[in-house]
Amino acid sequence: MPDASRPAPSDPGPPAPPAGTPGEVLRVFTRLGLTSFGGPVAHLGYFHRELVQRRRWLDEAQYAQLLALCQFLPGPASSQLGFALGLLRAGWAGALAAFVAFTLPSVLLLLAFALLLPQLQGDMGTAALQGLKILALAVVAHGLYGMARKLCPDPPRIAIAALTAAPLLAGGGALLQLTLVAAAALAGLWLCRGLALPAQAPLRLPHGPRLGGLLLGAFFALLLVLPLVPGAAAATLAAVYRAGALVFGGGHVVLPLLEESMVGPAGLSAETFLAGYGAAQAVPGPLFSIAAYLGALHPALGGVGGALLATLAIFLPGFLLLAAALPLWGRLAQRPVAAGAVAGVNAAVVGLLGAALYDPVFVEAVGGGGDLALAVLAYAALASGRVPVLLVVAGCVLGRVLLAL
């Protein structure tokens, strides 16, 4: 007679462990926010090691499903993934805790850098800022190489990337970038047939499609209404929100969108902008935190209030889209057509980053042979994987100061 206490072969087994608390999420993501150097790709590795392998908040298939969605949507992929992990672990309060804990350290550091920037205008300060631009060049080049290997592994996707970069090198703004991304998605439907997204794994969400639809409506309402609000501050925040809403590929690729909207006669200088981008490489956490630096210095915003508003404006659209898409993603992810579109968009991301690598990053960072040699050394250090990021930062700044002596 079988033992009634043993589950039948088809029994799914014990239930999943209970959800965590916002306090738990806050503690874990504070640690990640203080130690996650290296940019978005590195962040994904930190999350996997800490939350999948060590703490087992979710399994490999669930993590792959969330990662696929965050790569498919515009916005900061690593921050969106952190938001989703907090949401699944402890509901909406957990999602907010994950965002604040992971983002606040980098926001505070970049705000401090912005407030200290006027003290860095002497010869040595200018040389140090140039060192941060060189660091930005090395980081973008390293990110481009890694993304190209992963996202453009075959001739069709290499062609999509090249055809995306070429028009941007000749000039063009945010509308052209969005058009090229849409065209790449359509090309991917045809050229990248047969690819598969990760298998579906069940996700326990605190909301359903109805609330998801309301969040999607809020995303589009802000996108359409913010540009209609009068005033320079509202126009600047609308541009930052648009950058967060339309960028595919995360932190590095937001550079050209922010550069177009924030740099100019009524905004920041290209030198100030790239100094901030270089500083963003030196701090842990998301690269989108550069919005705090830009908001603190932009004439239409300024100060701590401007930094906080710009930070919220750049992160909010990605979170609204993610929360709206989560209830429907399980169905969409299993359709082959989605895989082709994602592949095309990812290839376009490589093209966008390649164009930005030359202008404005290379153009602003390299003023001579010494700058170029320092950038090559920084790239080699990053590529080795054995040199801490902070040491690379210090080497770029110190090396450029020595060149100026």
**Grouped pLDDT means (10 residues each) for the chain, 405 residues:** 40 48 96 79 78 86 77 85 95 96 96 81 72 79 79 90 90 72 87 66 82 96 94 93 80 74 84 83 85 94 93 96 88 68 80 80 84 92 81 87 85
Distance between CA atoms of residues 372 and 375, nearest Å: 5
State residue 91's pLDDT score. 92
> 384: which residues sit within 8 A by CB, 6+ positions away?
none
State residue 12's pLDDT score. 36
Give the bridge partners for 263, in sequence order. Answer: 268
Give the bridge partners for 268, in sequence order. Answer: 263
Specify the pTM: 0.71
Both tokens of 152, joined, read 């453009």
State residue 269's pLDDT score. 87
State residue 181's pLDDT score. 80
Q: What does DSSP assign to residue 170?
A: T
